[in-house]
C-alpha cells in the first residue's frame, strides 16, 4: 500500500531529478491516472480542472518518451490561448531540463518568421494555438512526418472559442498512427475529435 511515487512508473533518472527540483515529490490524482496510460501509448480522454496537475500528467510522459536525437517535432500540444501556450511550454521545458528537451511555442501576434526558424532547428515538442499552428502547417514550416503525440489541452475552451474547424483541419495534416490525449474541464466535446 502507501502512496505512489514517480519512480514507480519507471520514469528515468533525468526526469525524476527535474521533478524533484520542481518540488513534485508525489503524483497528483490526475497524474496517478494518466501517467501509466500515457506511457503505455494509449489514447485517453481526461476530465480535469486547472490546478490538478494536468500539465505534468502529459508533460512527464512526453518528456520521458521523446527521442532526443530526432530533430523534427514528435509532439504537438494544442491549447486555446497564448498565455497557456507559454505556461505549458515552460512547464515542459522544466520537466525535460535534464533530457535537454526542446519545446517551441507558436501563437498569433508574434513573429511568424522567428517561429519558422525555431521550428527548423531542433524542436521536440510544439505547443501552440490552433490558428498559428494551422498557418505553419499550410505553409510547410512545421514538419509533421515524425509526429507521434497529439495533446488537446482545455479542449472545451477550444470548442467555446470556435476553434473546432481549425482543430479538425490540423488533425487532417497529422499522421494517423499516433497517440492522442484529450484534456477538458467539462465533457461536451466528444464530437470535437474523430480519433
Candidates 47, 52, 81, 180; binder of ligand AMP (CB under 6 A) is 52
55 binds ligand AMP (CB under 6 A): yes
The answer to whether 146 and 73 are in contact (CB under 8 A) is yes
In the bound state with ligand AMP, the residue whose beta carbon lies nearer, of 24 and 149, is: 24
By CB under 6 A, is residue 3 in contact with ligand AMP?
Answer: no
Among 28, 71, 81, 160, binds ligand AMP (CB under 6 A): 28
User: Among all chains, which residue has been given the C-alpha cell 461536451?
Assistant: 188
Taking the complex as a whole, how short is the minimal distance between the CB of residue 103 and ligand AMP, in angstroms? Answer: 15
Dihedral of CA atoms 76, 80, 81, 83 in degrees, nearest 10, equals: -60
d(CA 73, CA 104): 9
Distances (CA, A) of 156 to 78, 104, 140, 182, 191: 12, 23, 28, 10, 11
Residue 35 parent element (H or E): helix 29-39
Per-residue binder mask for ligand AMP (CB under 6 A), 77-116, x = binder: ----------------------------------------
Applying CB under 6 A, the span of 45-53, 78-86, 109-117, 137-145 interacting with ligand AMP comes to 45-53
Which spans of this chain sit near ligand AMP (rule: CB under 6 A)?
Answer: 23-24, 26-28, 31, 50-56
Amino acid at each position: 500500500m502507501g502512496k505512489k511515487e514517480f519512480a514507480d512508473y519507471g520514469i528515468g533518472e533525468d526526469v525524476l531529478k527535474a521533478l524533484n527540483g520542481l518540488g513534485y515529490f508525489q503524483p497528483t490524482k490526475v497524474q496517478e491516472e494518466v501517467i501509466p496510460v500515457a506511457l503505455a501509448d494509449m489514447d485517453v480522454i481526461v476530465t480535469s480542472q486547472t490546478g490538478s496537475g494536468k500539465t505534468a500528467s502529459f508533460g512527464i510522459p512526453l518528456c520521458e518518451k521523446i527521442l532526443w536525437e530526432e530533430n523534427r517535432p514528435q509532439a504537438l500540444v494544442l491549447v486555446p490561448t497564448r498565455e497557456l501556450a507559454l505556461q505549458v511550454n515552460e512547464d515542459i521545458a522544466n520537466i525535460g531540463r535534464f533530457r535537454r528537451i526542446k519545446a517551441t511555442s507558436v501563437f498569433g501576434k508574434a513573429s511568424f518568421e522567428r517561429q519558422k526558424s525555431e521550428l527548423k532547428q531542433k524542436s521536440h515538442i510544439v505547443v501552440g494555438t490552433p490558428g498559428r499552428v494551422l498557418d505553419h502547417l499550410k505553409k510547410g514550416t512545421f514538419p509533421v512526418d515524425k509526429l507521434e503525440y497529439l495533446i488537446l489541452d482545455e479542449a472545451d475552451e477550444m470548442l467555446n472559442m470556435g476553434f473546432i474547424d481549425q482543430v479538425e483541419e490540423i488533425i487532417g495534416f497529422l499522421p494517423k498512427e499516433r497517440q492522442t490525449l484529450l484534456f477538458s474541464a467539462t465533457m461536451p466535446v466528444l464530437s470535437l475529435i474523430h480519433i
